[in-house]
Amino acid sequence: MPSILLFLFFAFWLNDAIGQNLPEILQEVLRSDTAYQSISCKIDVELNVPGLSMPDKEIELKLEKGKKPRIKGKGIIILPRHGILGQYREFLEVDCQAIPLRENEDTIVYKVVSLDHKTDWVTVDFALTKSLSKIHSMLISTRKDGEYLVRHEYASDSEFFPEQTEISFEAMPLKLPLKFLGKQEDMDLLIDGNNGPLSGNIMLRYSEISWEKAPESHVDFQKP
C-alpha cells in the first residue's frame, strides 16, 4: 500500500499535459481494443475458490459497443469483474497517468494510475511485448477489493485475442473480484466461519471467436 500511495502522489503532481498522454504502446493497445463493433465467443469457465462450488461450464459471450455484455449459460455463472478478452479501455480511456517501471528485452511494464476517484481501481501494472503491443499480464489494485493478477496466453504471435486467461486473487470472502449471474440459490456458499482471506483463481478458455470491425477502424485483426 505505501508504494501505491507514493505513485499516486507522484502522478498527481506531474504536469497536467503529460498526465493526459499515454505512451505509444498503450495507445496502440487502446486502438486495437476499440477497433471492433462487436465480439462473440464461447468461454469454458473453470473456478477454483475454496468453499465456492461451480461446475466447469461453457457460456456464450457477446460484446457490442454501446450495449451491455450479453451472456448465455445454464445455472449459476461466476465471472471475474475485469479481464475477459482484454477489455483494456476501462483502464486507458479514463483520466490516468502511465509510469514506466522496468524493461527487459522485448517486455516493458507500465504502472497506470487512475486520476479519477470514481473508478473502482487505483493502479494497473501492464506487462507488454514491445514488438507486438500485446498485453500478457495485468496486476490490478482496487480501492476496496484488494489486488488480483490477470494473465493472458496466446496460441501464436499472429493472434490478437488470447487463447486463455487466468485471474488469480487473494481477498476476503465478501470482497472477491467476481460477479454472480443466474439463480444463486443453487450455489454452494462460502464456508461459514471463514474470517481470513481466500486465495483462488478462475480460468477462461476462449473458442469460436468472431468479430465485426468498427467502420472507422484501421486495425487489421488476424483470424484465430
DSSP string covering 97-125: EEEEEEEETTEEEEEEEE--TTSSEEEEE
pTM of the shown model: 0.76
Least confident of 85-94, 129-138, 149-158, 175-184: 175-184
The C-alpha cell at 24 is 505509444
- Per-residue pLDDT, averaged over 81-101, amounts to 81
Q: Most confidently modeled of 32-41, 84-93, 114-123, 157-166?
A: 114-123
CA–CA separation, 29 vs 127, rounded Å?
12
Look-up: residue for cell 480460468?
203
Mean pLDDT score of the chain, rounded to an integer?
76
pLDDT band of residue 156 (cuts 50, 70, 90) is: confident
Q: What is the pLDDT of residue 216?
A: 58
What are the chain's domains? 2-183+196-213 (2.50.20)
